[in-house]
């Protein structure tokens, strides 16, 4: 054998004996795919993963910044993780969500954990069965790590409830996390889990996603079943995923779609839903896309405007064609007073009576009973906090006009259709593929301890309710930080069942910019980063 050949063989042998370059696992940035890759390699178990997240909750939920997100911690989470580890070894994984811990807003029915809706009046209420979305996710192998705080009955936008108290924003614990899915938003930002569930009636997934700097999906109403989710205003309600990345949110969405006989609205999704939305995620999806730039409520907060302006330039650099400015029609901007309020004033009483009738004995059975018992709590009692504003509002709603009233009928049947038609007309007139706007017009406010007592607290300008009245989808992605280091997000808004396109646009923008920032108040803990 020639010397040169021998040298080459020796070199190849030496190279072959070297260990492969190590991969780094970092809980802070780990996607669901990163988690499963580490498990595949034998470097991580689901039990260890749950332990890491529980350690973060222990360190930061009631200690440190005291975010106060958790209402009920799953006492069997580690046991369930061990069982899923064993199942994976013996049978293989159920799929990409196998063993993944999630945070669940406490208005989703869970048969094994209480569902309180954030109210002391339902403390200890154990539903007979899971909500449909929870059933779907459990079947996929997820672990419910915790039920998390929310605005009481999802009525509010500051993350306060009589059952859980005030949740704080991890980016600045002096500020609120927005609502009503504030516990999910704050918990995900602090990376207590990679995935969570919220619900949205007028912006309750999107507000907390924005205030906490994460990803959220308010899907087309009818894409996901509302069965087993405590109602807020059923005409506008939908559940949806919240996550730390667009990919993870899109991944989870497909596991929850489908027609459900217990929610007739899901019939509208027939032939229009997908079981895998990750197939649409491409990094060049914005090229040639006509983007309508919404300027309504510009000037509310100069810092938000500044981040939004930078985001628009980023969209343009990614190949988007900006149609600027675009303004929502007046009827859409007036949707709260013209449509949402008349529907809510009549429907809430009926919606709550239907939900309460399905609870176990011993709990209130009507909105009026909820109001009277809630108003009676005037001083803190143990873990419960007075919340006169929401219960006074409920008292008014319990005495509102019936759903047979002409005002309700006009708003429900004609008002919603009129807003939907006006928004579709905007898309058609401007030949738009998507509309973008800053999800929240201003940064989260400093927490006012008197807010739960203020009966008629003015609402900040908001565009999010347009998606609920039209029942159209809206995907939220981080866009940057203000000078105060508070997150700002942009919303990708489109017609019914345009989730594939919206997710693709959001993914392209996210992957090009990587604007999500972890809060400084919840730093990494020992053991969260390792090589394998």
Q: What per-residue confidence (pLDDT) applies to 19?
A: 58
Q: What per-residue confidence (pLDDT) applies to 18?
A: 55
User: What are the residue boundaries of the structural domains of the chain, listed by start?
Assistant: 44-515
The 3-state DSSP class for residue 449 equals: coil
Distances (CA, A) of 423 to 201, 360, 420, 432, 471: 18, 43, 5, 11, 11
Q: Beta partners for 130?
A: none
Residues with catalytic annotation? 105, 180, 204
Tell the residue number behind the tokens 């709260």, with chain if given: 336
Tokens of 120: 């002391």
Q: What per-residue confidence (pLDDT) applies to 459?
A: 79
φ and ψ of 193, to 5 deg: -170, 165
Which of 480, 473, 482, 481 lies closest to 505, judged by CA?
Answer: 473
CB atoms within 10 A of CB 313: 10
Alpha helices by DSSP H, listed for 294-387, are: 302-317, 330-333, 335, 341-356, 367-375
The 3-state DSSP class for residue 355 equals: helix
Tokens of 136: 């779907």
Residue 288 gets the label, from left (phi > 0), alpha (psi -120 to 50) or beta, of left
Distances (CA, A) of 454 to 151, 232, 516: 14, 20, 33
| Polymer length of the chain | 532
Residues 118, 162: contact at Cβ < 8 Å? yes
Q: What per-residue confidence (pLDDT) applies to 455?
A: 82
Residues 195, 252: contact at Cβ < 8 Å? yes
d(CA 230, CA 134): 13
Query: How many degrees, rounded to 5, is the angle at CA 370 between CA 366 and CA 371?
Result: 115
Could you tell me the CATH superfamily of domain 44-515? Answer: Amidase signature (AS) domain (3.90.1300.10)
**Which DSSP state fits 478?**
E
d(CA 418, CA 49): 49
Q: Beta partners for 239?
A: 199
- Rg over alpha carbons for the chain, rounded to the nearest Å, is 24
Residues 327, 464: contact at Cβ < 8 Å? no
The 10s digit of each residue's pLDDT in 73-125 is: 999 999 999 999 999 999 999 999 999 999 999 999 999 999 999 999 999 99
Burial of 409 (0-12, 13-18, 19+ CB in 10 A): middle
Tell the residue number behind the tokens 């609920």, with chain if given: 468
d(CA 60, CA 29): 18
Q: What per-residue confidence (pLDDT) applies to 8?
A: 46
Distances (CA, A) of 355 to 44, 155, 181: 41, 16, 19
Question: Residue-wise over 320-346: b if at least 16 C-beta within 10 A, else e?
Answer: bbbeeebebbebbbebbebbbebbbbb
Low-confidence ranges of the chain (pLDDT < 50): 3-4, 6-15
Residues 162, 78: contact at Cβ < 8 Å? no
Q: What per-residue confidence (pLDDT) applies to 20?
A: 61
Tell the residue number behind the tokens 């005037």, with chain if given: 378
Residues 157, 180: contact at Cβ < 8 Å? yes
Q: What per-residue confidence (pLDDT) applies to 405?
A: 97
In sequence order, the 6+-apart residues with CB closer than 8 A to the CB of 430 are 290, 292, 323, 326
Q: What share of the chain is helix, strand, coil (3-state, %, to 5)?
A: 40, 15, 45
Tell the residue number behind the tokens 């669940």, with chain if given: 104
């Amino acid at each position: 054998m020639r010397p040169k050949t021998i040298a080459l063989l020796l070199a190849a042998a030496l190279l072959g004996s070297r260990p492969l370059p190590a991969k780094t696992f970092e809980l802070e940035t780990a996607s669901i795919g990163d988690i499963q890759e580490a498990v595949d390699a034998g470097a991580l178990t689901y039990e260890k993963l749950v332990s890491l997240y529980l350690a973060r909750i222990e360190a930061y939920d009631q200690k440190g910044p005291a975010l106060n997100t958790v209402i009920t911690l799953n006492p069997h989470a580690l046991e369930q993780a061990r069982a899923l580890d064993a199942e994976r070894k013996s049978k293989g994984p159920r799929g990409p969500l196998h063993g993944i811990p999630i945070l669940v807003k406490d208005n989703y029915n869970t048969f094994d954990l209480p569902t309180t809706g954030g109210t002391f009046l339902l403390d200890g209420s154990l539903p007979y069965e899971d909500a449909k979305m929870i059933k779907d996710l459990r079947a996929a192998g997820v672990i419910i790590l915790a039920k998390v705080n929310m605005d009481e009955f999802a009525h509010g936008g500051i993350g306060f409830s009589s059952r859980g108290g005030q949740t704080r924003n991890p980016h600045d614990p002096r500020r609120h996390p927005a609502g009503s899915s504030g516990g999910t938003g704050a918990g995900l930002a602090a990376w207590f889990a990679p995935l969570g569930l919220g619900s949205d009636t007028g912006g309750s997934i999107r507000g907390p996603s924005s205030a906490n700097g994460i990803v959220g999906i308010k899907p087309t109403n009818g894409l996901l079943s509302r069965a087993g989710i405590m109602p807020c205003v059923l005409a506008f309600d939908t559940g949806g995923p919240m996550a730390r990345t667009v990919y993870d949110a899109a991944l989870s969405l497909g596991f929850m779609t489908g027609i459900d006989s217990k929610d007739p609205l899901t019939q509208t999704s027939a032939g229009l839903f997908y079981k895998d939305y990750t197939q649409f995620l491409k990094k060049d999806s914005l090229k040639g896309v006509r983007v309508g730039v919404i300027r309504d409520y510009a000037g509310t907060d100069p810092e938000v405007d500044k981040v939004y302006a930078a985001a628009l330039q980023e969209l343009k650099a990614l190949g988007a064609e900006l149609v600027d400015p675009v303004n929502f029609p007046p009827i859409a901007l007036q949707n709260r007073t013209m449509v949402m309020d008349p529907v809510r004033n009549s429907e809430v009483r009926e919606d709550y009576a239907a939900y309460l009738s399905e609870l176990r004995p011993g709990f209130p059975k009507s909105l009026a009973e909820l109001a009277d018992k809630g108003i009676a709590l005037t001083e803190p009692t143990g873990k419960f906090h007075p919340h006169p504003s929401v219960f006074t509002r409920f008292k008014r709603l319990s005495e509102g006009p019936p759903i047979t009233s002409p005002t309700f009928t006009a708003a429900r049947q004609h008002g919603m259709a009129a807003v939907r038609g006006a928004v579709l007309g905007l898309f058609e007139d401007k030949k738009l593929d998507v509309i973008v706007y800053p999800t929240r017009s201003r940064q989260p406010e400093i927490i006012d301890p008197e807010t739960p007592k203020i009966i008629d607290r003015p609402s900040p300008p908001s565009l999010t309710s347009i998606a609920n009245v039209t029942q159209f989808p809206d995907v939220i992605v981080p866009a940057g930080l203000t000078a105060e280091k508070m997150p700002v997000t942009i919303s990708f808004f489109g017609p019914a069942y345009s989730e594939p396109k919206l997710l693709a646009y959001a993914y392209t923008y996210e992957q090009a910019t990587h604007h999500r920032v972890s809060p400084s108040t919840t730093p990494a803990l020992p053991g969260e980063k390792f090589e394998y």
